[in-house]
Amino acid sequence: MGDILTQIQDELDMLLHQMQSSFAYIRLQAPPSVPPGQPALTAHAEFEYKAQVERNPQNPPAAPPPIASPEQYRKDIAELSRDMVVKERQIELLIANLPGLENSEEEQVQRMKELEKELEALEGERLKALEDKERLVKMVEEKIIKAGKVGSG
């Protein structure tokens, strides 16, 4: 059965993390949308980079990774969204498979007591069966010894 509850919590945290990283991706990678007839502005990451270089011309920070092309960006966004929906489905599946939904606590305790009794009774039977087995093994041994004596006699 596994621990569904911990899985739900882990996956939920993962979902929130995915949401956060999607926002971060959009923030850093979104290509500028240029209104017709206007000059193109830089993307956010590029703008930040230039501002930092201006503030600190002696040792400029490492250049940001190149902005994704609009096609790539659209593809990435589609992938991120798909992942998120898949994750949501996973959690729904986990919730749908929660154990013992139809049992109340009293019913569970009742069932546990029944099972305990059954187990004890079975343990007695099992010990008897084991004794039986021992007896049989002895019987077979005796037969073999007898047969051996007849054979060699």
By the criterion CB under 8 A, which residues form the site for another protein? 1, 3-5, 8-9, 12, 15-16, 19, 23, 84, 88, 91-92, 95-96, 98-105, 108-109, 111-112, 115-116, 118-119, 122-123, 125-126, 129-130, 132-133, 136, 139-140, 143-144, 147-148, 150-152
In the DSSP assignment, the letter for residue 38 is S
**Closer residue to another protein, CB minimum distance, 63 or 130:** 130
Nearest by Cα to 50 from 39, 58, 61: 61
**Closer residue to another protein, CB minimum distance, 69 or 81:** 81
- Gap between the Cα atoms of 35 and 87, Å rounded: 36
Tokens matching residue 120 = 């004890």
CB of 45 to another protein, least distance (A): 13
CB of 117 to another protein, least distance (A): 10
CB of 112 to another protein, least distance (A): 6
**SS3 category, 130:** helix
- Gap between the Cα atoms of 49 and 52, Å rounded: 5
Contacts of 71 (CB under 8 A, 6+ apart): none
- Gap between the Cα atoms of 150 and 141, Å rounded: 14
**Closer residue to another protein, CB minimum distance, 63 or 147:** 147
CB of 75 to another protein, least distance (A): 18
